[in-house]
Amino acid sequence: MSFAVPEGRVTALLGESGCGKSMLAAALTGSLPASAQRTGVVLLDGEPVVDQREWRRLRGKTIGFLPQEGVTAFDPGTDVGSQLRALRERHGGWSVEKACAAAQYPAEALSLLPEQHSSGQIQRAALAAAILPIPKLLVVDEPTASLDTATAYAVWESLRTCADAGTAVLAITHDVPKLLDLAIVDHMLFLRDGDLVAAGSPGSLRTLPDLYVQGFFSPLGT
């Protein structure tokens, strides 16, 4: 497949469970499993990313990544607050307080170890870590999966704010109704069995006569 994630835009990546969304996120952030066979190339600002050393340099400051399991973004032995402060010292960007507020992460949890968080809390902590350095590319894997409705809406608004400030946002999600409610998304990519089967604006895809794509717009068959 071939596609672009433009700066200043929110691109949503959708597809049925197991179709390869998280693998694609891993490919775009240089974090594929060691056993993966790789073909193709990722271009960042038109330049190919060549090796693991470069991926390590890019991750954090240039490429922010919210993994599907937020807890994997943290060192298990150190409280989240210390880890966010270390990120701020290393990369600059937003203050810890601003990143936490944007991610809807409660400041009173900062002193807790990663494992002492609920799944929704650690997901928001990992989002704070991903957006704090103000990356050029932000890849978020199901950022609202464990969140209540109001918090999920606020997180989508924050991702839109990141894009409006210039970040290229790629959001893996099943949360189509909220995206459409808020008009958050500029572009949508639909994946099926590892292939890109449809791409376009929400308006153009909403009326596409394709049962697979329509299933995401009307999950209850309405």
Ligand X SMILES: Nc1ncnc2c1ncn2[C@@H]1O[C@H](COP(=O)(O)OP(=O)(O)OP(=O)(O)O)[C@@H](O)[C@H]1O
The answer to whether 175 and 25 have CB atoms below 8 angstroms apart is: no
Rank residues 68 and 146 by Cβ distance to ligand X and give the closer one: 68
Question: Residue 35 or residue 149: which is nearer to ligand X going by CB?
Answer: 35
Quote the CA–CA distance of 177 and 137 in Å, as a whole number.
24
Q: H-helix or E-strand containing 191? A: strand 187-192
Minimum distance of ligand X from residue 108's CB (angstroms): 30
> Residue 188 CB, nearest distance to ligand X (Å)?
15
What is residue 59's DSSP assignment? B
- For ligand X, give the closer residue by CB, 15 or 133: 15
Dihedral pair phi/psi, residue 75, rounded to 5°: -75, 125
Q: Binding residues for ligand X, per CB under 6 A?
A: 15, 17-23, 33, 35, 68
Shortest Cβ distance from residue 189 to ligand X (Å)?
12
DSSP reduced 3-state for 64: strand
Q: How far is the CB of 43 from ligand X (least distance, A)?
A: 21
Closest by CA to 36, choosing from 46, 44, 25, 45, is 25
Closest to ligand X by CB, 20 vs 60, is 20
Sign of CA dihedral 41, 46, 50, 53: negative
CB of 166 to ligand X, least distance (A): 27
* Nearer Cβ to ligand X (100/127): 127
Dihedral, CA of residue 36, residue 73, residue 46 and residue 14, to nearest 10: 70
Nearer to ligand X among residue 65 and residue 94 (C-beta): 65
Q: Which residue, 8, 163, 141, 20, is CA-closest to 70? A: 141
Q: DSSP class of residue 69?
A: S
Element (H, E) at 127: helix 119-131
Residue 210 beta carbon to ligand X: minimum distance, rounded to whole angstroms? 18
